[in-house]
């Protein structure tokens, strides 16, 4: 029998309705539309509003869209992995909340915390379950309600992040389509430059931590930028080299959407031209684990069976990596 690979068979996405524009941010902090656009490429981002709404509420429409496209019931899902750094609660896992909300009664689920690389980590993890031959339908969702941990008085971070989610279904394939290879890396020394200071077991929430605004994203942007530029590009190059792929072989680069300058330097390094680079940062900002599947969602109709797709990400941890996918279906088979 041919080797089993984990093919992506459908994509879903969801962004909340509320649009937070650069113009609105100009009223909140000392910034300008021009600065944000030229330094990051972002025009607007989406924010999940409403009492009692969390990351699971971003995931539910994604999961239901995927089920609808594939014509399956949530009860057919074997496993749900949610990549997020903004879980509904510290525990239980957001995946458990989502399986309950969608009626995925036969699925087990867990979360992966790898910040902006979370979707790549989760995709690769999910692929192993399919390749084992024991599981037939594994759903992977990258989702973050970043607005829940962003300080809207800090101009260095509030301009970047937004809320959103995207996901895919993995199913067994014996024709060589799906997740072919990946390089995933982490380096904990990078936590110094990108983290949330309080709310974990080291520094549980107190009145003091709240007053000191320590429950928000802390980022030393310049340092993160420097590491992101080199590591994301090198991971993509290494995956290409060991699979004997040249830039001409790549149909699409799907980069994490953190900053259009990081995206440009990654694509230039591996010599993939701009027209083959998926980009939606201008509309959604940085949705952390959501960016890569949201790109797939936006570009799904353009994807063709057999396309070689290179995904690359860098984020908090530090974590980074690149995944090589051979696309399994013509994207225009699903209307959106
Ligand atoms: O996705 C997870 C990983 N995260 C990333 O990959 C983010 C990586 N970092 C970045 O994208 C960029 O570093 C930022 C967008 C966060 C910042 O851009 P930068 O070009 O690195 O700016 P900077 O931090 O070097 O700041 C340059 C200047 C500073 O002023 P001075 O010191 O030169 O007077 C900042 O205070 O820009 C100032 N500045 C701003 N000005 C207007 C910083 N933020 C703003 C702002 N509006 N929002």
**Same-domain pairing of 228 and 266:** yes
**Domain total in the chain:** 2
For every residue of 207-271, DSSP letters joined together read HHHHHTT-SSEEE-HHHHHHHHHHHHHHHHHHHHHHTT--GGG-SEEEE--S-HHHHHHHHHHTT
- Predicted local confidence at residue 334, as pLDDT: 84
Is the CB of 40 inside a 6 Å radius of any atom of ligand 1? yes
Is the CB of 116 inside a 6 Å radius of any atom of ligand 1? yes
State the closest ligand 1 atom to the C-alpha of 221, by its place in the atom list counted from 1.
13
Rounded to a whole number, what is the largest CA-CA distance in the chain?
Answer: 62
Average pLDDT, integer, range 125-148: 98
Q: Which domain holds residue 80?
A: 5-177
- Predicted local confidence at residue 2, as pLDDT: 85
- Predicted local confidence at residue 251, as pLDDT: 98
Residues 6 or more apart from 240 whose CB is under 8 A from it? Answer: 246, 247, 249, 250, 270, 310, 324
Say which residue the tokens 């530029």 belong to: 229
- Predicted local confidence at residue 231, as pLDDT: 97
Is the CB of 33 inside a 6 Å radius of any atom of ligand 1? no
Of 150, 177, 204, the one marking the end of a domain is: 177
**Same-domain pairing of 187 and 94:** no
The model's pLDDT over 213-245, given as tens digits with 9 standing for 90+, comes to 999 999 999 999 999 999 999 999 999 999 999
Is the CB of 159 inside a 6 Å radius of any atom of ligand 1? yes
Whole-number Å distance, alpha carbon 316 to ligand 1 midpoint, is 16
Q: Which residue's CA lies nearest to atom 17 of ligand 1?
A: 221
Q: Which residue's CA lies nearest to atom 29 of ligand 1?
A: 156
**Same-domain pairing of 260 and 325:** yes
Of 118, 148, 177, the one marking the end of a domain is: 177
- Predicted local confidence at residue 335, as pLDDT: 61
**Whether the predicted pLDDT of 336 surpasses 60:** no
Radius of gyration for the chain, computed over Cα atoms and rounded to the nearest angstrom: 19
Average pLDDT, integer, range 258-280: 97
């Amino acid at each position: 029998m041919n080797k089993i690979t984990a093919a992506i068979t459908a994509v879903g996405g969801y962004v909340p309705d509320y649009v937070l524009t650069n113009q609105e941010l100009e009223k909140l902090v000392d910034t300008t539309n021009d600065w944000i656009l030229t330094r990051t490429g972002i025009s607007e981002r989406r924010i999940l509003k409403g009492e009692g709404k969390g990351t699971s509420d971003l995931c539910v429409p994604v999961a239901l869209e995927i089920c609808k496209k594939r014509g399956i019931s949530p009860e057919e899902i074997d496993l749900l992995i949610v990549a997020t750094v903004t879980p509904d609660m510290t525990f239980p896992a957001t995946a458990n909340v989502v399986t309950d909300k969608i009626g995925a009664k036969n699925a087990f689920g867990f979360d992966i915390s790898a910040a902006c690389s979370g979707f790549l980590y989760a995709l690769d993890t999910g692929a192993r379950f399919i390749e084992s031959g024991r599981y037939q339908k594994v759903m992977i969702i990258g989702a973050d309600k970043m607005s829940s941990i962003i300080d809207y008085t800090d101009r260095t971070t509030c301009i970047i992040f937004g809320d959103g989610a995207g996901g895919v279904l993995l199913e067994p394939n014996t024709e060589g389509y799906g997740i072919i290879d990946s390089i995933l890396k982490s380096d904990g020394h990078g936590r110094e430059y990108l983290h949330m200071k309080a709310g974990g077991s080291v520094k549980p929430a107190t009145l003091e931590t709240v007053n000191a605004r320590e429950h928000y994203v802390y980022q030393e942007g310049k340092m993160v930028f420097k590491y992101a530029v080199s590591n994301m590009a090198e991971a993509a190059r290494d995956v290409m080299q060991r699979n004997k792929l040249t830039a001409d072989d790549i149909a699409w680069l799907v980069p994490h959407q953190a900053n259009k300058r990081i995206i440009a330097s990654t694509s230039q390094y591996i010599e993939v031209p701009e027209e083959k680079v998926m980009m939606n940062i201008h509309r959604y900002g940085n949705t952390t684990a959501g960016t890569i599947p949201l790109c797939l969602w936006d570009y799904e109709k353009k994807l063709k069976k057999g396309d070689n797709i290179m995904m690359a990400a860098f984020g908090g941890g530090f974590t980074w990596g690149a995944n090589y996918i051979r696309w399994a279906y013509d994207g225009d088979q699903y209307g959106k």
